[in-house]
A and B are shown apart, each in its own frame.
Chain A
Amino acid sequence: MRRLIENRFGMLALVLIALGAVYGVAFVSRPAPAAPVKAEPVRAPIAAVSTVCPDPGGATVTAVTPPNAQGTGQTLIEDGDEPATVDEPGKLWQKTMASGTDPMRVHATGAMASGLEAAQTRRALSGEARGLAGVRCVDPGADAWFVGPGPAAGDLRLHLANVESAPADVALVVYSGEGQVIADRASGLLLKPGEHRVVDLKKVAPSPLVMALNVSTGRGRVAAAVEAATSEGVDWLPQTTAPAGRVVVPGLPGSAGRRELYVAAPGESDAVVHVKAVLKDGSYALENRETVEVPAGSVVTLDLSTGVTGQPAAIVLTSETPVVAGLKIVGTGGRTDVAFTAGAPPIDLGSVVADARSTKTVTSRLILSAPDAAADVTVTLLPREGKAPDPIEVAIPAARTKEIILKGPAKGFSVVVMPKTGSGPVYGGRVMEERAAGGQLVTAQPLAVARTWTLVPPVAEQPSAVLSQPS
Chain B
Amino acid sequence: MHSVTAIVVAHDGSRWLRDTLRAVLAQTRPVDRGVGVDNGSRDGSRDLLGEAFGKHSVVQMPRGSGFAEAVHEVVRRLPKAPGDTEWIWLLHDDCAPDARALEFLLHAADEYPETAVLGPKLRDWLDRKLLLEVGVTVARSGRRETGLEAREYDQGQHDAEPRGVRDVLAVSSAGMLIRRDVWDELGGLDARLPLFRDDLDFCWRARAAGHRVLAVTAAVAWHAEASSKRRRRIAASDDHPRRLARRYSLFVLMANLPFWTMLWSLVRNTVGSLIRTVLFLVAKQPAHAVDELAAIGSVLFHPLRLRRARKARKGSRAGYRLVKPMFSPPSLAFRRAWEMVQNQLSGGGPMDSAGRHHAVQQPGAEEGDELLNDDDGFLRRAFASPGVRLFVLLTAVAVAAERDLLTGGMLGGGALVPVAGGASDLWAFYTGEWAPPYVAVLAVLSTVAFGKTWLAVSILLLGCVPLSGLSAYLATRSFVSYRPARVWMAATYALLPVATGVVAAGRIGSAVVFILLPVYASLATKVLADTRKPARRAAWGLGLLLAVGTAFAPILYVFVAVLGLLAALSFGGVRRGVGGNLLIALGVPLILLGPWLATIVQDPVRILREAGLPMTSSPRLAPEALLTLNPGGPGTPPIWATAGLLAVALGALLLRRHQFIVAVGWGVAIVGVLAATVVSRMSTWPGVPLAFAATGLLVSTALAAHRVAEFRRADGLRKAGAFLIVLVAFATPVAAATLWIMDQADGPLRRNVRSPLPAIAEAQSKPGQGTLLIRTADTGLTYTVLHGRIPVIGESERAAYGSDFTDAVAGLASGRGGGDAAALAGRGIAFVSVPAPIDPALRRALDSEPTMARVTLTDRAGLWRMTGPVTPERPPAGDAWHRWWLYGQGALVVIVLILAAPGARTAETEAIEEIPAGRERVAA
Binding site for B on A (CB under 8 A): 8-9, 11-12, 14-16, 18-19, 22-23, 25-27, 29-31, 33, 36-39, 41, 44-50, 109, 113, 139-143, 164-166, 217-221, 242, 454-470
Question: Are B784 and A47 in contact (CB-based, < 8 A)?
Answer: no
State whether A457 and B810 are in contact (beta carbons under 8 Å apart), knowing that A46-B816, A462-B783 are contacts in the complex: yes
Contact present for A463 and B796 (CB under 8 Å): yes
Taking CB as reference atom, which chain A residue is nearest B846?
A: A142
**Are the C-beta atoms of B805 and A467 separated by less than 8 Å?**
no
Q: Is B379 an interface residue (CB 8 A)?
A: no
Chain A residues near B119 (CB, 8 Å)? none
Q: How far is the CA of A464 from the CA of B782 in the complex (A)?
A: 8
The 5 A-B residue pairs whose C-beta atoms are closest, nearest first, are A47-B818, A48-B817, A458-B780, A463-B796, A26-B623
A113 touches B817 (CB 8 A): yes
Contact call A22/B674, Cβ cutoff below 8 A: yes
Instruction: Let me know if A461 and B801 touch, CB within 8 A.
Output: yes
The docked-state distance in angstroms from the alpha carbon of A91 to that of B512 is: 68
The reply to whether B654 and A459 form a contact with Cβ atoms under 8 Å apart is no
Q: Chain A contacts of B386 at CB under 8 A?
A: none
The reply on B814 being an interface residue by CB < 8 A is yes
List chain B residues, Cβ under 8 A from A165. Answer: 850-851, 867-868
Q: Contact check: which of A22, A142, A457 meets B781 at CB < 8 Å?
A: A457
Decide: A466 near B786, CB < 8 A? Known: A22-B627, A459-B780, A460-B806: yes
Complex partner residue of A164 from B615, B677, B820, B850, CB under 8 angstroms: B850
CB–CB A461/B814 < 8 A: no
Assess whether A465 is in contact with B814, with CB atoms less than 8 Å apart. Answer: no
Could you say which residues of chain B place their CB within 8 Å of the CB of A47? 811, 816-820
Q: CB-defined interface of B805-825 with A at 8 Å, one 1/0 digit per residue?
A: 110011101111111100000
Interface flags, B721-755, vs A, CB<8A=1, else 0: 00000000000000000000000000010100110
Please give me the residue from chain B that is nearest to A12 by CB atom: B653
**CA–CA, A464 to B773, complex, Å?**
11
Q: Are B779 and A458 in touch, CB under 8 angstroms?
A: yes
Instruction: Count how many chain B residues have C-beta atoms less than 8 Å from C-beta atoms of the other chain.
Output: 81
Question: Could you tell me the distance between the alpha carbons of A12 and B654 in the complex, rounded to whole angstroms?
Answer: 7
Q: Is B222 an interface position by the 8 A CB rule?
A: no
Set B654, B662, B756: member contacting A466, Cβ < 8 A: B756
Instruction: Decide yes or no whether B466 CB sits under 8 A from chain A.
Output: no
12 A-B pairs in the complex with CB atoms less than 8 angstroms apart: A25-B674, A30-B620, A30-B681, A47-B817, A139-B848, A462-B777, A464-B782, A467-B417, A467-B418, A467-B753, A468-B835, A469-B778
Q: A33-B620, A139-B848, A455-B841 are in contact. Are A25 and B781 (CB under 8 A)?
A: no
Cβ contacts B615-635/A at 8 Å (1 or 0 each): 100011111101100000000
A22 and B670 within 8 A (CB): yes
| Chain B 366-385 near chain A by CB (<8 Å), digits 1 or 0 | 00000000000000000000
> How distant is the Cα of A469 from the Cα of B414 in the complex, in angstroms?
9
**Is the beta-carbon distance between A221 and B813 smaller than 8 angstroms?**
no
Interface residues of B in 520-564 (CB under 8 A from A): none
CA distance A327 to B260 in the complex (A): 88
How many angstroms between the C-alpha atoms of A37 and B779 in the bound complex? 8
User: With contacts A109-B818, A459-B806, A467-B613 known, is A38 near B670, CB below 8 A?
Assistant: no
Q: Is the CB of A15 within 8 A of B663?
A: yes
- Scoring A31, A141, A220, A464 by chain B CB atoms within 10 A of each residue's CB, the highest score goes to A464
Contact B784 A219 (CB under 8 A): no
Number of cross-chain contacts by CB at 8 Å: 216
Q: Which residues of A contact B857 (CB under 8 A)?
A: 142
Given A39-B780, A462-B782, A466-B790, 13 more pairs with CB closer than 8 A: A16-B650, A26-B673, A46-B818, A48-B818, A165-B851, A219-B853, A220-B853, A221-B850, A457-B780, A461-B805, A462-B784, A463-B797, A470-B748
Looking at B619, B663, B850, B857, the one whose CB has the most chain A CB atoms below 10 A away is: B850
Chain A residues positioned under 8 Å from B818 (CB to CB): 46-48, 109, 113
| Most chain A CB within a 10 A radius of its CB, from B622, B819, B854 | B854
For A15, give its contact among B650, B748, B783, B820 (CB under 8 Å): B650
Which B611-668 residues sit within 8 Å CB-CB of chain A?
A: 613-615, 619-624, 626-627, 650, 653-654, 656, 659, 662-663, 666
| B579 in the interface (beta carbon within 8 A) | no
Q: Could you tell me the distance between the alpha carbons of A30 and B681 in the complex, rounded to whole angstroms?
A: 7
Report yes or no: B653 in contact with A11, Cβ–Cβ below 8 A: yes
Contact: B626 with A26, CB < 8 Å? yes
Contact between A46 and B784, CB atoms less than 8 A apart? no
Residues of B within 8 A of A141 (CB): 844, 847-848
CA–CA, A443 to B713, complex, Å? 103
The distance in angstroms between the C-alpha atoms of A255 and B764, with both chains bound, is 58
Within 8 Å of chain A (Cβ to Cβ): is B855?
Answer: yes
B847 interface neighbour in A143, A464, A467, Cβ under 8 Å: A143
Which residues of A sit under 8 angstroms from B313, Cβ to Cβ?
none
Of the residues B412, B626, B784, contact of A461 by C-beta under 8 Å: B784
Chain A residues lying within 8 Å of B666, measured Cβ to Cβ, are 15, 18
Does B509 count as interface, using CB distance less than 8 angstroms? no
Interfacial chain A residues near B412, Cβ < 8 Å: 466-467
Select B413's contact among A9, A30, A457, A467, beta carbons within 8 Å: A467
Q: What is the bound-complex CA distance between A470 and B753, given in angstroms?
A: 11
Cα distance A372–B806 in the bound complex, in angstroms: 36
Question: Does A22 contact B782, Cβ atoms closer than 8 Å?
Answer: no
Point out the residues of chain B lying under 8 angstroms from A38, CB to CB. Answer: 778-779
CB neighbours of B763 from chain A (8 A): none
User: B627 near A26 (CB under 8 angstroms)?
Assistant: yes
| B849 shortest CB reach to chain A, Å | 9
- B497-530 interface mask toward A, CB cutoff 8 Å, 1 = contact, 0 = none? 0000000000000000000000000000000000
The 8 A CB mask of B870-910 against A (1 = contact, 0 = none) is 00000000000000000000000000000000000000000
A456 to B810, CA, bound (A): 6
| Bound: A458/B810 CA distance, A | 7
Answer whether residue B791 sits at the interface, using C-beta atoms and an 8 A cutoff.
yes
The CA-CA distance from A8 to B797 in the complex, in Å, is: 52
Q: Is the CB of A468 within 8 A of B754?
A: yes
User: Once the chains are docked, how many angstroms separate the CA of A198 from the CA of B845?
Assistant: 27
Cβ of B818 to closest chain A Cβ, rounded Å: 3
Q: Which residues of A contact B851 (CB under 8 A)?
A: 165
Q: Does B800 contact A (CB under 8 A)?
A: yes
Residues 766-787 of B contacting A (Cβ, < 8 Å): 773-775, 777-784, 786
Known: A15-B663, A31-B619, A31-B681. A460 touches B779 (CB 8 A): yes
Give CA–CA (A16, B818) in the complex, Å: 66
Q: Which chain B residues in 429-465 approach chain A with CB under 8 Å?
A: none
Q: How many Å lie between the Cα of A50 and that of B653 in the bound state?
A: 79
Question: Quick one: given A19-B627, A46-B816, A457-B780, are A464 and B806 in contact (CB under 8 Å)?
Answer: no
Q: Closest Cβ of chain B: how far from A292's Cβ, in Å?
A: 25
Q: Which of A142, A456, A468 contacts B811 (CB 8 A)?
A: A456
Contact with A along B832-843 (1 / 0, CB 8 A): 000100001110
Complex formed: what's the CA distance from A456 to B622 in Å?
A: 37
* Contact (Cβ within 8 A) B670 A456: no
Chain A's closest residue to B857 (CB) is A142
Contacts of B774 in A (CB 8 A): 465
For the complex formed, measure the closest distance between the CB of A81 and the CB atoms of chain B, giving whole angstroms: 23
Q: How distant is the Cα of A23 from the Cα of B750 in the complex, in angstroms?
A: 35
Contact A464 B756 (CB under 8 A): no
Which residues in A have their C-beta under 8 angstroms from that of B779?
A: 36-39, 458, 460
Measured between beta carbons, the chain B residues less than 8 angstroms from A458 are 779-781, 810
Knowing A36-B778, A141-B847, A458-B780 are in contact, say whether A27-B623 is a contact too (CB < 8 A): yes
The answer to whether A30 touches B783, judged by C-beta atoms less than 8 angstroms apart, is no
**CB nearest neighbor in B for A463:** B796
A-contacting residues, B409-425, CB 8 Å? 412-414, 417-418
Residue pair B780, A49 in contact (C-beta under 8 Å):
no
Residues from chain A with a CB closer than 8 A to the CB of B677 are 22, 25-26, 29
Give the CA-CA distance A360 to B682 in the complex, in Å: 73
Whose C-beta in chain B lies nearest to the C-beta of A217? Answer: B854
A15–B620 CA distance with the chains assembled, in angstroms: 25
**For residue A23, which residues in chain B have a CB less than 8 angstroms away from its CB?**
623-624, 627
Residues of B within 8 A of A26 (CB): 621, 623, 626-627, 673, 677
